[in-house]
Homo-oligomer: A and B are copies of this chain.
Amino acid sequence: MTLSSRILTRLKSSQGVLAAAGRSFSSSTAATSSVGFIGLGNMGLPMSINLANKANDSKMDVIAFDANPTALNLAKEAGMRTASSVEEIGASNCSVIITMLPGCQAVDAVTPILLESSDPNASTLFVDCSTVHPSTSRRWNDELKEKGHTRMDAPVSGGVKGATDGTLTFMVGCDDPATLQQAQPLIMGQRSIHCGTAGAGSATKLCNNLALAAQMLGICEAMNLGESLGVDPIVLAQVMNTSTAKSWSCEVNNPHPVVATDRGTGAAANRYQGGFGSKLMQKDLSLAVSAGADAGVALPVGVLSKELYHMATLHGLGDKDFGVMLQFLRGQKP
């Protein structure tokens, strides 16, 4: 029996069942299929909890780990079954191992440990939700395939809110689209899109965020310029939202405090706390620029965006929503 059909058979019973996020669950020792989840940060923890809630209604058992003791404790407090090391996940005979790690370095550190500690005759599906370099995805895809495993890169869009609400979009790269079809019951979100072969999920995520950074920077500059020229920020946002500058960064995540106060939502709503941090944007832009350099693609705005978010991070704004650029441009503290 191939891995693909093993997963399909074991997980089929949970198809279409998505337990409400936040619902409590019990770990079932009778479960025959284990799913490992490594990386319990702001994104990984709610994702793993949602997965465990789904698992509760199926014969799936989720076992979670994070190298950070605080994160691991949070998972325990949430009622998750946890492992004490990456090796323990590797030795747990998981049919699927999901990783949600900070970047390429962490993926390169964790994956070999998983390979060494797992049964060499078993076949595992590796689902990497981390945002990594497309070449990292392709490299691990090839190496894991050679060892009889399957892999897909599946970075997400939707942020912490999407992770918590179970409304993420998964951008999937895998050589065989059937892999995604079979992994569907694991999807902790609303949608999954097959973007292409191995690495295409990672590439799509970076491209979206490259375009997003330029959009946010453009909106920050426009809102700042308009206000300085005497245009009411609320009117300016309203005009742009019904004109050609209409965008998520203007409409949903507008960076201007006056717009946030008016609408009760936007990047500045909670003094730029939460949301998508500037240092995460810097990281994604660094990956995009590096991928562009490898592919011989000119990214003039991408490079400038990366350097601006780099500077914002150096100025202590790394944990603030990336809309904080409006304040950074002004030389003001958020």
Residue ranges of A at the interface with B (Cβ–Cβ < 8 Å): 134, 157, 169, 171, 191, 193-197, 199-200, 203-204, 206-215, 217-219, 221-226, 228-232, 235-236, 238-240, 242-250, 253, 288, 291-292, 295-302, 304-305, 308, 329-330
Choose among B134, B218, B238, B302 the residue that contacts A193 (Cβ–Cβ < 8 A): B238
Is A301's CB under 8 angstroms from B305's CB?
yes
Residues in B neighbouring A215, C-beta threshold 8 A:
211, 214-215, 218, 245, 247
Q: Which residues of B contact A235 (CB under 8 A)?
A: 193-196, 204
Nearest chain B residue, comparing its CB with the CB of A215: B215
* 10 pairs, CB–CB < 8 Å, chain A vs chain B: A191-B242, A194-B235, A195-B232, A199-B229, A207-B225, A208-B240, A211-B245, A217-B301, A300-B304, A300-B308
Q: Do A221 and B214 touch (CB < 8 A)?
A: yes
**Complex contact B210–A225 (CB within 8 A):** yes
Say whether B239 contacts A226, CB under 8 Å. Answer: no
Residues from chain B with a CB closer than 8 A to the CB of A191 are: 242
What's the nearest-Cβ distance from chain B to residue A216, in Å?
9
Assess whether B211 is in contact with A240, with CB atoms less than 8 Å apart.
yes
Min CB distance, A261 to chain B, in Å?
A: 19
A208 / chain B contacts, CB cutoff of 8 Å? 222, 239-240, 243-245
Shortest Cβ distance from A253 into B: residue:
B244
Interface contact A231-B203, CB-CB below 8 Å: yes
How close is A52's CB to chain B, nearest CB, in angstroms?
26
Q: Are A299 and B225 in contact (CB under 8 A)?
A: yes
Residue among A207, A247, A298 having the largest count of chain B Cβ atoms under 10 Å: A207
Contact A297 B203 (CB under 8 A): no
Do the beta carbons of A211 and B203 come within 8 Å of each other? no
Q: Which residues of B contact A207 (CB under 8 A)?
A: 222-223, 225-226, 229, 231, 236, 240, 245
Q: Is the CB of B301 within 8 A of A232?
A: no
The reply to whether B218 and A210 contact each other, CB–CB distance below 8 Å, is: yes
Task: Give CA–CA (A232, B230) in the complex, Å.
Answer: 44
Task: Using A196-B231, A230-B196 as known contacts, say yes or no to A225 and B292 having CB atoms under 8 A apart.
Answer: yes
Which residues from chain B contact A250 at a C-beta distance below 8 Å?
A: 211
Max chain B C-beta neighbours (<10 A), residue from A211, A228, A300: A211
Q: Are A214 and B301 in contact (CB under 8 A)?
A: yes
Task: Say yes or no: A226 contacts B248, CB within 8 Å.
Answer: no
Instruction: Report Cα–Cα, A239/B304, bound state, in Å.
Output: 24
Contacts of A302 in B (CB 8 A): 218, 221, 225
Additional 10 contacts, C-beta under 8 A, given A195-B232, A204-B235, A206-B225 = A204-B236, A208-B222, A208-B244, A208-B245, A211-B218, A211-B247, A212-B245, A217-B301, A225-B299, A300-B329
